[in-house]
Each structure stands twice: as structure tokens, then as C-alpha cells.
Amino acid sequence: MKINDVILQTVTKIVVFIILTFGVELFISGHNDPGGGFSGGLVLASALLLLYMTYDIETVHQGIPFDFKKIAGLGVFLAVSSSAIPMLFSNQFLTQKKGEFALAVFGNTELSMVLLFEAGVALTVVGVVVTILLTISEDVS
Amino acid sequence: MIIPLLILVPFVASLFVPLLYTYVHSKKIGWLVLPFPLILFIFLCFQIPKLGAGDSLFYTIHWLHAANIHFTTHLDGLSMILGLLITGMGTLVVMYSIYYLSEREALGRFYMYLLLFMGSMLGVVFSDNVLVLYVFWELTSVSSFLLIAFWHQRKNSRAGAKKAMLITVTGGVGMLVGFLMMHQMTGTYSIQEMIGMAGTLPAETLFVPAMLLILLGAFTKSAQFPFHIWLPDAMEAPTPVSAYLHSATMVKAGIYLVARFIPVFGESELWFYSVTFVGLITLFWGSFNAVRQNDLKALLAYSTISQLGLIMSLLGIGSAAMLNLPGVDKTLYTAAAFAGLFHLINHSTFKGALFMIIGIVDHELGTRDIRKLGGLAIFMPITFSIALAGSFSMAGLPPFNGFLSKELFLEASLAVQQLALPGVHVWIPIVAWVASVLTFVYCMIIVFQTFFGRQQQQPAWVDRGAHDPQPGMLLAPSVLGVMIVALFFFPNVLAKWIVQPAMGAIYPSFGNPETLVPHIAAWHGFTPAFWMTIGIILFGAVLYIFLPQWRRVYTIAPFSWRIDTIYTLLLMQLEGNSYHLTNKYMTGHLHRYFTYIMLFFIAMMGTALSLVWRLAFNFSEDSVVTLNEYILVFVMMIAALAILFVKSRLIAILLNGVLGFTVAFLFVVLRAPDLALTQIVVETVTTVLFLLTFRFMPDWKKETPRRPVKMLNIFIAVASGLIVILTALIVQGNRLFEPISKYFEDAKTLTGGGNIVNAILGDFRAFDTMLEIVVLFIGGLGVYVLIRLKDKKGGDQNEDQ
């Protein structure tokens, strides 16, 4: 099933970046404003979905050669292991710490352990959603 | 801190072995595994002086406060013996495996399982918390399962693995219930604290059930009669595994557990009876069955069962010292427990050596059948010497360590008669003696039928190039062979440094453990035990010589019975019944499954609503409903109702989308942007999913279900709708618990996050979130696997046999 829709393809090329940026923005702002790992991940996944729908799977795969099952696995690993890190410092499982760090570009930035955890959530969501959709659509073709 | 690390090291190593194996894809991988048990062994050796001085190492990692479960490790004399066996035998077995297994085997998997087992076994012996102990206990069952089924292409391996797993895990679950009962009585999960409360326990009603259940776990694990049937079948595992798990370490876990709980249960007569009698029956039945085996490995399996029974009965006799019977010399019985521990060590040395020797014979000649073997002594002189030492030690002959423990065992069996208890008579030493005679017979079978006689066979061995294996393969059994002899000459060194601290752990209330350790001497004078040994040798020799004549005994009724039959019958019944039962309700109709789920929901929530809340409404705190909300809800209702009447599936999906997006709008109106955002994205993704699966759907056709089904559908629809509405209305006005909303109000100070939703997801309820994404991941993999498996259907379905 070859889709040849010039308008859609042209729009997608630009819009995908907007959606991706929006997803990252949602992910980062989730600490104090609406957003977070889950919705950020879903938005990222929908950007990828748009790509897959506009172009075919092979083309997208050339640009993004990831195995999304592995990304989902990485996400789960990140979330679970970052939850376990506090135990190494004699804290309870899932203790979330934060601190202010002076970073090169961003200036004084507040970083929190929960960021790793949320990143795990986001990666899992992206991985699982794309995996399910790809598996089903590959089954179609 | 160091003891938890000891447990952790093998686990971590087992993770990295398969990774390393991709780079070192040869036998050499074994040399990379070897340092782990060796370092652990050396480390444990350095702790011996500390324990000898009466200390024990205790370390707690606080874990689940609410459940009172902590990762408490305890290294005392008793766990030290097992720890040394696990790491020491582990080192030798790894060394032996390097030469035993060929390059073609999946070595990465093999060493991974082996290290996994080592870690879990160390966890069993070092844990003080019974629940942690239980987890490690089951992990040893799992790793044993994986190792027995290592050659999983063979049907017998899989059957043996399944049998071992079923029996040991059943016992393990029983043991878990026993542990929970102990917690009920004592309020603690710590073994040491239970020991502290031992005096008050026998009065409790749960005391006897808890004791029997814990014994069930110990007996299944240590292959005691009638649960011994899994051990011979476990011999399908590669020989190094049999030498390690199924003779030296894992099967000793049950013995360890019994020894560990002697201070808790020792004052009960029932404990004494169960442990002693089960041990004696196992001792006899194992040795009796060993004689009839033709496969050398099966012979060793039954011999292991018998020897485990021996150690078990010694511990039983040893617990008699706790019985507080009047006019009893306690040292007679503590000596039995001492003999048990001493024999535990001896058994690991000689049985480990024998397993390795039989592995060598199998490896070099390709058979373990004693009807085919014979006359190998001149071809394999070193192998023969070690086999001789091992067998004679097991038979109880000097100058090998088995002689010393066998003498102590005979003395203990004589001592137990003096107990003024019903059922304890002269038959105990007689059973012990008969079993020892049979032990002597099968030991002679190992030596003479493998290495002597059959002159006519010898040319065949020359043709096959029978010879001693390469030195590396002989190294591990040689070390054990040297120990067999060394322990005969210097038993008291071992007794003082290793067994004595363990005696202190078994009898904590008896004061200085030094007084509990008898002096071991090879020559006692003309004691009854000495005459019994002479009798064993004479009768054993006669029985061995006339074996062909009396072998027919095994075909006569009570002796030909096999417990296996019961096991097979039970299993078949179970499988048949569950198959029928499952077929009754798993019909393959989606409608049926939804009915089950919804009916369950209605029953649960309906009961909860009527019983807990008593349908009490309270609308006083509700906020006012605005016009916007009315409009949105109205749209939702229209969409929901319209779905019922549309003619095409596409419209139904679209209406469902309308419903979903209106919900998102409602969230916006209610000022919940997070939820709205998520809802919109979820709706989008779901719609795409629908579009993808669209072409798989069967034609949308009007179904006309039968009237009862229709009534049930109506009931389910109305009832579940009502329940959801009622729940929402009631929950709002009735508070059963202290509201947790003050956490949300203080979210900024508590978590540092301004977004309450994410403060809940990432901090307050982060555990839920973590498990949810794990579930999500599993679900995703499930979809992937289901669809991929469907693709391959009809392809290669043949199983390798």
C-alpha cells in the first residue's frame, strides 16, 4: 500500500518536528506544569505514528533504525533501576532527590532523580505504542 | 556488609557470563567463572577463626518495614559448613566442567545457571529471615530445574526436571505456610529470634502444623522417603550438576533446615520421631534400591538418598538431647548430631568424587551400565584409585573418612535405644546395620563391577583406547580423594574448627560447644560398634558374592513397588481433570469472557456498595454543575446511545471517538489540563489502532441472541452502569478513610514538584507507576509475540527429540 500524498508528506516533514519538540517540552515541564513522562511519551509516539502513516515503514526505518521493543525494555530498565539507586545510599526504594546544578548552557538548573524515572516512563510508552502499531500494521501488509 | 555481597556476587556474575560467552566462545569461559567460587571460598576460610572463637556475623539490610521483612544475613558455624561446601565444591565442579562439557554445548547458559544456583544456595544458608530464605529456597529449585533440563532436547531430561520442580516446590510452598504459622506464633520472621522464644512455643496450637509443614519442605528438598523419587530422575542432568546440586549441596538444604530448626522444635517428641524415622526409612529404602541399579549414576542417586537419610536420622537422634528426658546422658545424643554434621562433610567429599569418576568413565567409554563395564583398573589406574577411595569411604572402611562417621553413626543408633520412649527399640540399630550392609554391597558393585573382572571385555577397551583422562579432568576428583584420606587422619582439626561452631548453633542453650564435640579416634577398642562394622564387612562380602542368586528378591511384591507409580497416576489425574474443567469455561467466545468479567465486577462492587456504604448519599459537599458541563454530558449521552443504533462499524468507531474527545473537553472545563491532554493523545492513538485493525474485523451483522442470553446482556449492561454511577455518587459524600488530599495540597513542599498529577505519578504513587509501565511493556510484548507466533503457525512445529 503505497501512499503518495504530496501535501501530507510536505506538511508532515515540518509538523513532525513541532510535535516532537512539543513532546519534549511536555516531558520537561511536567514537573511544575501540565505534562510529564506519560503524556510526553504519548505525544512523541504520535509524532512517530504520523511519520509511519505518511511514509511507509521501510522509509521511516531507514531514518530511525531503532528496535522499539528494545526502547520499551530500556525504558522499563531505566525506571526500575533508577528507583533502586537510592537503596545504594541507604534510602528507601523510590526515594526521589533533587538538587540545583550550574550547567553550561542552561544556567542554574534544578535536576531531580524523578527525571530519570519519568524518562523511563516516556521511553516505555513510546516503545510499546510504536511496537504494537508496527506489529499490527506489518501483519496487515 | 560483606555477607550480603557474598550472596550477590554469584548473581551478578551469572548475569555477565552469557555476555562474556559471546566474546570468549570456547571452553575457556570456565576459567573466567572459576575465580568467583574460589574467591568466595577463600574469603569464607578467613572467617573460620572468628567463628571458632564463638562469634557469628550478623548484618541487616532494612527492607520492608511494614511487612517486617528485612534482608538479614547470619553467618554462624552451621551456615559456614554449608557455605564452605557450596563454594568449595563449586570451585571443583567448575574446574571439572571445563573438561567434561564439550565446546558444542551451550556453555554460557550452563555456567549462568550454575552461578545462579550458587548464589541462591548461599542465600538459603546465610538468610536469617525465613521469607528471604524461602525465596532463595525456591530459586534453588528453579536453577535445579534449569540444570536438569540442560539437555532439553531429551524427553527424559524434561520429565526429570518437571518432576524435581513439582516435588520440591510443593514442599517449598508447604514450608512457606509453616513459616507464616511461625510468624503468627512468634511475631517475627527471624530464625534467631524464634530460637530465643523456643521455650514458649510447644504450647501453641499451631506448633505441630508449623513443624510438620517445615519438615515437608526439608524432606522434599533432601529427597527423603516418600519424596525421594525425584532424585534418580534428576540424574538426567550433566554429571557435574549431579555432583554439585544433587549430591553435595542442594539436597543438603533440607538437612540444613532441620539442623537450623532443632533449637526451635527439638523439645517436641514428634520432631524426634519424624526426623529419625523418616531418616531411617530413607536410609534403608535408598540402600536397598541402590543395589538393584544397573546404571552407575542411578546407583549413586539411590546411594545419595540413603546417605541423606542417614544424616537426617542422625540429626533426629541428636535432637533427642533437647527432649529433657530424666536420667539421660545428653552427650550421647549431641554426639549423634555431631556425627551428622561430620558425615555431611564426608559425604560431599566421597560422593562428589564418585560422581566425577563416573562422569569420567562415561566420558571416556560412553557407557555407565555396569553390565557392559569391567576390568578397567589397568587402563585407568588413577581413576580407579579415586573410585576405590570414594567407594570404600562410603562403605565405611578405614583408612577413609567414611569409616569414622559410620562408626559414630552405629554408636548413635545404639545410644538411641536407651531412650525411654515408646517405639524406640532394638530395631533402630538393626535397620542401621542392615542398611550399612547394603551400602557395603553397592559400594563393592561400584568398585569391582566397573574396574575388575570381565577379562574378555578388555580387548574391547584397548580398541576404544580406554585410558585415564587428561590431568585437568582428574584434578577435581583428586582433590576430593586426598581429602577423603586426610580427613581420616586429621578428623579432629575439622571437628574443632568447623563442626564445633556449628554444634554451638544447633545447641545454643547447652553452653560451651567445646563440651559437645567428642574426640574422634579411628580405634575405640572392641566396642559394639566395632563388632557391627566387622559384621557389615563379613555379611556384605557374602551378600555381594551371592548377589546374582538373591537379586530375584527385587521382583517380589513389596520390594518391587515403586512410589513413582503413585506420582505418575496423581499427575495424570490432575492434568486430565484440570483439562476438562478449563474446557468447560474457556470456550473461545469473547462474549462469554466479557460475561465472566462483568458478572464478577457486578458481584464484587454490588456487595461492597450495599454492605460497606449501605447506599448512603450525601450531596451537601458537591459543587454546582454549570451549563457547559450539562452540554458536554448531553453530547456524550447522545453519542453513547447512538452507537447502539448505527448500521456500520466505521460510524460506531467515530462515535466512540466523539465520546472520547468530549470527555477530554470535560476535563478542560473542569480545569484538568493534564488529563485532557493525555485523553486527547490516547484517543488519537486509539483511533489509529482502530483503523489498522479495521480490515481484520468480520462483517458487522445483526446478531439475534437467544432470549436468556439477551436478558443476561440487559442485566449486565444495566447493573454495571448503575453500579458505576452509584459508586461515583456515594464515594463523593462518604469517607471511610482519612482523606489523603492534604498530601496533594502540600505536594510542592513534599516532592518539590508543582504539578500535583505528576507528584502523584512520580512520587506518592511512584511504585504503581513503575509497575504499570512494566505491565504496559509486557502487554506490548504480548501483542508482538501473539501476532508473530500466528505468522509462524503451520511452519516448523516438529519438536526436537
Cα–Cα distance, B757 to B608 (Å, whole number): 28
- Residue spans of alpha helices (H) in B396-527: 401-415, 427-444, 450-451, 458-464, 471-489, 491-494, 500-506
Residues of B in contact with A126 (CB under 8 A): none
Range with lowest mean pLDDT among B48-52, B86-90, B585-589, B753-757: B753-757
pLDDT reported for residue B683: 87
Residue B498 contacts by C-beta under 8 Å, 6 or more apart in sequence? B48, B77, B80, B81, B84, B345
- Residue spans of alpha helices (H) in B615-672: 627-645, 649-669
Identify which of B293, B311, B160 has the alpha carbon closest to the alpha carbon of residue B247. B311
When pLDDT is averaged across residues B173-192 and rounded to a whole number, the result is 92
Identify which of B202, B414, B181 has the alpha carbon closest to the alpha carbon of residue B323. B202
* Whole-prediction pTM: 0.78
Query: Is there a contact between B762 and A26 if contact means CB atoms under 8 Å apart?
Result: no
- Give the CA radius of gyration of chain A: 18
Query: Is there a contact between A36 and B761 if contact means CB atoms under 8 Å apart?
Result: yes
Residue A111 contacts by C-beta under 8 Å, 6 or more apart in sequence? A98, A99, A100, A101
**To which H or E segment does residue B542 belong?**
helix B528-545
Q: Residue A91 pLDDT more than 90? A: no
Q: Residue A118 pLDDT more than 80? A: yes
Cα–Cα distance, B520 to B518 (Å, whole number): 6
pLDDT band, very low/low/confident/very high, at B611 (cuts 50, 70, 90): confident
Work out the minimum CA distance from B783 to partner chain A, whole angstroms: 6
Residue B54: left if φ>0, alpha if ψ -120 to 50, beta else—which one? left
Percent of chain B with pLDDT over 70: 95
**What is the number of other CB atoms lying within 10 angstroms of the CB of residue B8?**
13
Q: Residue B586 pLDDT more than 50? A: yes
Q: Residue B395 pLDDT more than 50? A: yes
pLDDT reported for residue B798: 44
Q: Residue B797 pLDDT more than 60? A: no
Class of B590-758 per CATH?
A: mainly alpha
DSSP assigned state of B798: P
- Minimum-distance CB partner of B781 among A26, A39, A69: A69
Identify which of B463, B236, B242 has the alpha carbon closest to the alpha carbon of residue B365. B463
**Gap between the terminal Cα atoms of chain B:** 48
Determine contact, residues A134/B689, Cβ cutoff 8 Å. no
Q: Residue B795 pLDDT more than 60? A: no
In A34-53, which positions are buried (b, 16+ CB within 10 angstroms) versus exposed (e)? Answer: bbbbbbbbbbbbbbbbbbbb
State the virtual CA torsion across B664, B669, B670, B672 in degrees, nearest 10.
50
Q: Residue A8 pLDDT more than 50? A: yes
Q: Nearest-CA residue of chain A relative to B785? A: A135
Work out the minimum CA distance from A47 to partner chain B, whole angstroms: 10
Query: Is there a contact between A42 and B682 if contact means CB atoms under 8 Å apart?
Result: yes
| B775 in contact with A, Cβ within 8 Å | no
Q: Nearest-CA residue of chain A relative to B685? A: A46
pLDDT reported for residue B799: 41
Which residue shows C-alpha cell 473542569?
Answer: B670
Cα–Cα distance, B217 to B214 (Å, whole number): 5
Determine contact, residues B169/B236, Cβ cutoff 8 Å. no
Cα–Cα distance, B62 to B52 (Å, whole number): 28
Most confident of A13-22, B14-23, B788-797: A13-22
Q: What ipTM goes with this model?
A: 0.89
Q: What is the sign of the dihedral through the CA atoms of B305, B308, B313 and B316?
A: negative
Residues of A in contact with B774 (CB under 8 A): 76, 80
> Would you tell me the crossing angle of helices B673-693 and A37-54 to the nearest 10 degrees?
30
Q: Residue B78 pLDDT more than 50? A: yes
Q: Is the pLDDT higher at B448 or at B461?
A: B448
When pLDDT is averaged across residues B650-678 and rounded to a whole number, the result is 87
- Minimum-distance CB partner of A135 among B752, B753, B784: B784
Identify which of B144, B151, B148 has the alpha carbon closest to the alpha carbon of residue B169. B144
Identify which of B97, B90, B84 has the alpha carbon closest to the alpha carbon of residue B45. B84
Q: Residue B801 pLDDT more than 60? A: no
Give the cell for residue B85.
561446601
* Separation in Å, CA B508 to CA B83, B130, B315: 20, 19, 15
Query: Is there a contact between A39 and B677 if contact means CB atoms under 8 Å apart?
Result: yes
Cα–Cα distance, B663 to B629 (Å, whole number): 10
pLDDT reported for residue A104: 65
Determine contact, residues B218/B310, Cβ cutoff 8 Å. no
Work out the minimum CA distance from A11 to partner chain B, whole angstroms: 18
Q: Residue B15 pLDDT more than 60? A: yes
Q: Is the pLDDT higher at B617 or at B485?
A: B485
Give the cell for residue B214.
517445615
pLDDT reported for residue B589: 81
Determine contact, residues A130/A73, Cβ cutoff 8 Å. no
| B751 in contact with A, Cβ within 8 Å | yes
pLDDT band, very low/low/confident/very high, at B165 (cuts 50, 70, 90): very high
Give the cell for residue A67.
528496535
Determine contact, residues B70/B131, Cβ cutoff 8 Å. no
Work out the minimum CA distance from A94 to partner chain B, whole angstroms: 7
When pLDDT is averaged across residues A71-95 and rounded to a whole number, the result is 83
Cα–Cα distance, B521 to B728 (Å, whole number): 81
Identify which of A136, A141, A140 has the alpha carbon closest to the alpha carbon of residue A68. A136
Query: Is there a contact between A34 and B762 if contact means CB atoms under 8 Å apart?
Result: no
Range with lowest mean pLDDT among B289-298, B339-348, B556-565, B653-662: B556-565
pLDDT reported for residue B116: 93
Residues of A in contact with B779 (CB under 8 A): 128
Q: Nearest-CA residue of chain B relative to A141? A: B692
Residues of B in contact with A80 (CB under 8 A): 770, 774
* 3-state helix/strand/coil string of B269-281: HHHHHHHHHHHHH
Mean of pLDDT over chain B: 86
Work out the minimum CA distance from A104 to partner chain B, whole angstroms: 23
* Separation in Å, CA A22 to CA A33, A129, B675: 13, 18, 16
Determine contact, residues B47/B80, Cβ cutoff 8 Å. yes
pLDDT reported for residue B793: 52
pLDDT reported for residue A100: 67
pLDDT reported for residue B218: 94
Identify which of B507, B114, B522 has the alpha carbon closest to the alpha carbon of residue B341. B507
**Strands B69-75 and B57-64, sheet pairing:** antiparallel
- Domain spans in chain B, listed from the N-terminal domain onward: 267-555, 590-758
Identify which of B412, B582, B408 has the alpha carbon closest to the alpha carbon of residue B487. B408
Residue B101 contacts by C-beta under 8 Å, 6 or more apart in sequence? B27, B107, B110, B238, B240
pLDDT reported for residue A105: 67
Work out the minimum CA distance from B19 to partner chain A, whole angstroms: 17
Q: Residue B800 pLDDT more than 50? A: no
Query: Is there a contact between B766 and A83 if contact means CB atoms under 8 Å apart?
Result: yes
Q: Residue A139 pLDDT more than 80? A: no
Residues of B in contact with A140 (CB under 8 A): 692, 695-696
- Minimum-distance CB partner of A38 among B688, B692, B761: B761
